[in-house]
Amino acid sequence: GNSVTQMEGPVTLSEEAFLTINCTYTATGYPSLFWYVQYPGEGLQLLLKATKADDKGSNKGFEATYRKETTSFHLEKGSVQVSDSAVYFCALSESGANSKLTFGKGITLSVRP
Amino acid sequence: GAVVSQHPSWVICKSGTSVKIECRSLDFQATTMFWYRQFPKQSLMLMATSNEGSKATYEQGVEKDKFLINHASLTLSTLTVTSAHPEDSSFYICSASGTSGPARDTQYFGPGTRLTVL
Residue A98 has a pLDDT of 63
Give the span between the Cα atoms of A51 and A84, in whole angstroms.
Answer: 24
Cβ partners under 8 Å of residue A69, min gap 6: none
* H/E run at residue B17: none
- Does A51 lie at the interface with B, CB-CB under 8 angstroms? yes
Q: Is the pLDDT of residue A67 over 70?
A: yes
Mutant choice from A98, A99, A107 vs B, greatest count of B C-beta within 10 A: A98
Whose CA is closest to B49, among B63, B32, B64?
Answer: B32
pLDDT confidence of residue A9: 87
Distance from A18 to chain B by nearest Cα, in Å?
Answer: 24
B-chain CB neighbours of A41 within 8 Å are 112, 114
Q: Output the pLDDT for position B35.
A: 96
pLDDT at B39: 86
Highest mean pLDDT among A18-22, A92-96, B70-74: A18-22
Mean pLDDT over all residues of chain B? 92
What pLDDT sits at residue A80? 97
**A96 Cα to chain B: minimum distance (Å):** 4
Say how far apart CA B3 and CA B103 lie, in whole Å: 9
The predicted structure's pLDDT at residue A27: 92
pLDDT in tens, B64-114: 999 999 988 999 999 999 999 999 999 999 999 888 887 777 889 999 999
Q: Are A47 and A59 in contact (CB under 8 A)?
A: yes
The answer, for A52 touching chain B at a CB cutoff of 8 Å, is no
CA distance B18 to chain A (A): 23
- Chain B stretch 52-111, residues whose beta carbon is closer than 8 A to a beta carbon of chain A: 93, 95, 97, 99, 104-111
The dihedral formed by the CA atoms of B35, B41, B42 and B44, expressed in degrees to the nearest 10: 20
Average pLDDT in the A52-67 region? 96
Mean pLDDT of chain A: 92
